[in-house]
Amino acid sequence: MSTRVGFIGLGNIGKPMALRLASSSEVQLTVYDVAPDPVAELERAGARAATSVAALAAKADVICVMVRDDDQVRDVLGEILGVSGDGQTVVIHSTVGPDTPGQLADTAGRHGVKVVDAPVSGGAMGAADGTLAIMVGGSDEAFAAARPALEVMGSLVTHAGPIGAGTKLKLARNLMHFVAFTAATEAQRLAEAAGLDLVELGKVVRHTDAITGGPGAIMHRATTAPIAQDDFWYGVFGHVLALGEKDLTFAIDLADELDVDVPLARLALDRLGPGLGLPSKEK
């Protein structure tokens, strides 16, 4: 049997997510957005268009919400609950505050409606080709209800834990994402001061990250506790630390020579070892 899915919010990522659903023979899709053009595109792809959130909610068992912020999510949920029936599941794809999913679930539960928070990672490209990572928080029952739709849109669907866990996992992931972006700007300033080609630096970074896995390459342990000396990871991360402290020291020396401010590099030199679970070398 196909799943009756509604999708609200057809923006840069929501639209390609909905197009993936429209292409699935296992989904009956209804969509809604305040902008007419993406709705028309989804209709051409085989979806039905609803005239309002309430009209969509009346025709769907699983309702995906990908709107801008917490306030819009609350407004949409309020309209859904005005017409919803027992057994519906609302899937919040928007990245919201860590406490918001629990509040939404409490409100919806009084109407017999289940909520999962299911933010995504992978951007518009991942949404278009169905390779998103989707991080889900919610009960086992709610996750099971949402899963058929989620697996159409993402190639990695992980049940992170109870309601709110998906959002917290996304926030942890994006903390690394944007700190890394900031570190990239620091590296660019250093390279520019050294007279290097920043476009070529970007090519090298993307090429090598595709091979090594980038920052995710160190993320295999199930804990951040200090590593015992007889642990397999002690030797592996010891090698990472030795290389990191050497190269960071050289980079900071070059920055000092070129009068470039590199505060993240200095912080990394102090914190890399403890962060890995190892003591830093005496400096």
| 270 in a structural domain | yes
**What's the pLDDT score for residue 84?**
75
Q: Are residues 93 and 208 in the same domain?
A: no
In this structure, is residue 283 part of a structural domain? no
Does residue 174 come out as left (phi exceeding 0), alpha (psi in the -120 to 50 range) or beta? alpha
Helices (H), the chain: 14-22, 36-44, 53-57, 70-81, 100-109, 123-129, 140-153, 165-193, 198-212, 232-258, 263-276
The reply to whether 146 and 202 lie within a common domain is no
Q: How many domains does the chain have?
A: 2
Angle at which helix 70-81 crosses helix 100-109, to 10 degrees, equals 10
Residue 68: CB atoms within 10 Å? 11
Residues 46 and 154 in one domain: yes
- pLDDT value of position 1: 67
Task: Indicate the residue type of 238.
Answer: G
Q: Give this prediction's pTM.
A: 0.93
Of the candidates 162, 181, 209, which is a domain's last residue?
A: 162
Token duo for residue 276: 């890995």
The active-site residue, picked from 59, 170, 203, 283, is: 170
The answer on 49 and 185 residing in a single domain is: no
Establish if 179 belongs to a structural domain: yes
For residues 183 and 201, what is the distance between their CA atoms, to the nearest angstrom? 13
Q: Give the closest residue to 145 by CA, choosing from 119, 106, 113.
A: 113
pLDDT value, residue 87: 86
Q: Specify the DSSP element, H or E, that contains 48.
A: strand 48-49
Q: In whole angstroms, what is the distance from residue 214 CA to residue 203 CA?
A: 14
Same domain for 144 and 182, yes or no, is no
- What is the residue range of 213's domain? 169-276
Residue at a domain's end among 105, 127, 162:
162
**170 given a catalytic annotation:** yes
Same domain, 77 and 189: no
- Looking at the fold, whether 100 and 184 belong to one and the same domain comes out as no
Q: Is 210 part of a structural domain of the chain? A: yes
Same domain (yes/no): 22, 125: yes
Q: Tell me, yes or no, whether 281 lies in a domain.
A: no
- Measured distance CA(116)–CA(225) in Å, rounded: 30
d(CA 104, CA 91): 11
Do the beta carbons of residue 64 and residue 7 sit within 8 Å? yes
Mean pLDDT by 10 residues, the chain (283 residues): 93 98 97 98 98 96 98 97 87 98 97 97 97 98 97 98 98 97 98 98 97 96 96 96 97 98 98 91 54
Write the CATH number for 228: 1.10.1040.10
- pLDDT score for 282: 54
In a domain, 282, yes or no: no
Q: Which two tokens stand for residue 117?
A: 């928070």
186 lies in the same domain as 77: no
Q: What is the CATH number of the domain that holds 152?
A: 3.40.50.720
Asked if residue 27 and residue 124 are part of one domain, the reply reads yes
